[in-house]
C-alpha cells in the first residue's frame, strides 16, 4: 500500500485542475527506453511520432511549470514528470512536499483487456536521476541512465532513456 499512497501523492502534487495546457501532438517527437522486470525479457520502447509519444508543458496559475514526457507502445508506457524545473541540469527523482519541486518516473503496463500495473520512483526511497540537456518554451531533450520504479508487488528498472521533442 505504501507505493499506492506514494503514487497518489505524486498525482496530487503535480495535478491542478486549473492548469493551462500548452501541448499538441508532434510527429517528430522521439522517446526510447528499456524496461527490465525480474525474470522476464527486456522490453524495448522505441516510440516516435504522435501515436506513442506525448510531450506536454503546463503553466499553472501561480507561474509554476510542469513538464511531462511520455513514450510507449500498446502495452507499456513510461512517463517522466518534472515540476518547477526551469533550466537544463540533472535532477534526482524526488519530490519536495514543502515546495513541490521535483521529478519522478512512472512505468505503466496494461491495456483495457489487462489490469493496469503502476510502478513509480516514489517520494523518499527513489533511485536515479534525469538529465535535461535542452529546454526551451517549445522543446525538451534529455536522458536517464536508470530508475528503479516500485509498487506493492515488485519493482522494474527503467533505463537507457533518451527523448527529444516539441510541446
Could you identify the residue written with the cell 506536454? 56
Greatest CA separation found in the chain?
45
**Buried b / exposed e across 80-101, counting CB within 10 Å, b at 16+?**
bbbbbbeeeeebebbbeeeeeb
Q: What is the pLDDT of residue 12?
A: 35
Q: What is the mean pLDDT of residues 22-46?
A: 84
Q: What is the pLDDT of residue 160?
A: 96
One-letter-per-residue 3-state SS of 48-92: EHHHHEEEEEEECCCCCEEEEEEEECCCEEEEEEEECCCCCEEEE
Sequence ranges of the domains in the chain: 2-166
Residue predicted with more confidence, 59 or 51: 59
Chain centroid, CA 58 distance in Å? 14
Chain centroid, CA 78 distance in Å? 6
Q: What is the pLDDT of residue 55?
A: 94
Report the predicted TM-score, pTM, of the whole model to 2 decimal places: 0.81
Amino acid at each position: 500500500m505504501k507505493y499506492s499512497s506514494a503514487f497518489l501523492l505524486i498525482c496530487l502534487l503535480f495535478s491542478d485542475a486549473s492548469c493551462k495546457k500548452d501541448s499538441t501532438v508532434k510527429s517528430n517527437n522521439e522517446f526510447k527506453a528499456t524496461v527490465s522486470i525480474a525474470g522476464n525479457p527486456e522490453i524495448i520502447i522505441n516510440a516516435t511520432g504522435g501515436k506513442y509519444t506525448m510531450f506536454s508543458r503546463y503553466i499553472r496559475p501561480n507561474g509554476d511549470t510542469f513538464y511531462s514526457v511520455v513514450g510507449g507502445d500498446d502495452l507499456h508506457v513510461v512517463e517522466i514528470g518534472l515540476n518547477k524545473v526551469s533550466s537544463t541540469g540533472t535532477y534526482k527523482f524526488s519530490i519536495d512536499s514543502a515546495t513541490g519541486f521535483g521529478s519522478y518516473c512512472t512505468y505503466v503496463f496494461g491495456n483495457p483487456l489487462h489490469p493496469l500495473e503502476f510502478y513509480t520512483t516514489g517520494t523518499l526511497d527513489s533511485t536515479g536521476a534525469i538529465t535535461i540537456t535542452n529546454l526551451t518554451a517549445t522543446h525538451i531533450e534529455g536522458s536517464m541512465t536508470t530508475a528503479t520504479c516500485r509498487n506493492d508487488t515488485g519493482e522494474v528498472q527503467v533505463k537507457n532513456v533518451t527523448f527529444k521533442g516539441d510541446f
